[in-house]
Amino acid sequence: MTNLTKVAHCLFATLLFAFCAAASAQASCANPDFAADAFIGKWNERVTADKLGPAWHLEKYNGLGFIRQNLDGTSLLLTAKVDKAGCITQVDIKSRRADAGGFAALVAWSSVIIVTNPSLPKEQRKTVFTALGIDKPSAGGSHTVNHVTYKYVENEETNDFSAAPE
């Protein structure tokens, strides 16, 4: 075997190992609903089924440690922190209060709940919204269900909704 052949075999083995490690990293998320690729896939299935349009579709995860995309224009921002294993550690939806007619932000918040907690029945999803006080004049709070903590904070300028696995 020549040195060049040995180098090629070593390079191939290294690439194969890296690919397998990356594939198993996604499977190793404590909460599989927070695996970046799975989250994006379920999110895109949901927005396609609900006919929300191309502005709502998330791009494939690029491995840079975060997902960041404007939804439905510039007033609604989805961000997600992704660890080295490809697991989302927190998803945030931020909207500007001045632009929030309410509907787009509610759709985004509902989508996060459904995608991160797909087995949660509709009544329990409503419980999350009630616990966060989203329907109250003095909104805010947190609620944990099925090992996912949802938080909501609003101030004069922004609405901040987040979901994080325990």
In this predicted model, which residue has the larger pLDDT, 68 or 9? 68
Q: Which pLDDT tens digit goes with each residue over 24-61?
A: 444 589 999 999 999 999 999 999 999 998 999 999 99
3-state secondary structure of 92: strand
Looking at residue 93, what is its pLDDT?
95
| Cα–Cα distance measured from residue 116 to residue 39, given in angstroms and rounded to the nearest whole number | 7
* Domain range summary for the chain, segments of one domain joined by +: 30-165
Mean per-residue pLDDT for 112-126? 95
Indicate the pTM of the whole model.
0.79
Average pLDDT, the chain: 83
